[in-house]
Amino acid sequence: MGLRFLFGKRPGFRTRVAAHRDVLYRLAFAWCHDAALSDDLVQETLLRALAHRAQLRDPERLKSWLCSILANALRDHYRRLRPNDDIDALAEELADPAPTPEEARAQAELVARVRKAIARLPLGQRQVLTLVDLEGLSYAEVGEALAVPLGTVMSRLCRAREALRTPLLAYAPGTGAVPLRRVK
């Protein structure tokens, strides 16, 4: 790119463009409130105007044409500053962790069935099962809390789990097993 290309074939165009430098600077400063950035934007505007002078259809509209180039230069500057977001990361971030209505209904049905099955257990088995599996107490803590020997805690827990296995397996067709949470 030669100097003749940058400054135009006729010195009149370059002079007319340079005459708008102060106006462009005032506009740029009013838009961004940064003197250094305003200088850069005006410089970019003047370079673009000189490089694309053939796009100016009406010489009487030079000022508005330069203002539109300045606005585009500022827009391009802000685009360069904006970080490029990873769409996949945004999708994961925006994905709602809440269950869908179908999942919530299935979960509610499962909870209702488990509660119903637990309610059918004898009181001793129900107590041991809830203290071990739901509350996370150790066998010794359960035995102490219920004032029963450790062997009784283990046998009641085993019987309770066996009693729950059949009705809960029937609820999960095709899986063959329903994962029960074990906390010892």
> 45, 70 in Cβ contact below 8 A?
yes
**What is the mean pLDDT for each group of 10 consecutive residues in the chain (184 residues)?**
48 85 91 92 93 87 89 90 72 72 88 88 90 88 90 94 85 54 56
pLDDT of residue 2: 45
pTM of the model: 0.43
Q: Is the dihedral of CA 49, 50, 54, 56 positive or negative?
A: positive
pLDDT of residue 35: 93
Distances (CA, A) of 24 to 27, 64, 68: 5, 10, 10
pLDDT of residue 5: 44
pLDDT of residue 48: 93
CA distance 139 to 121: 19
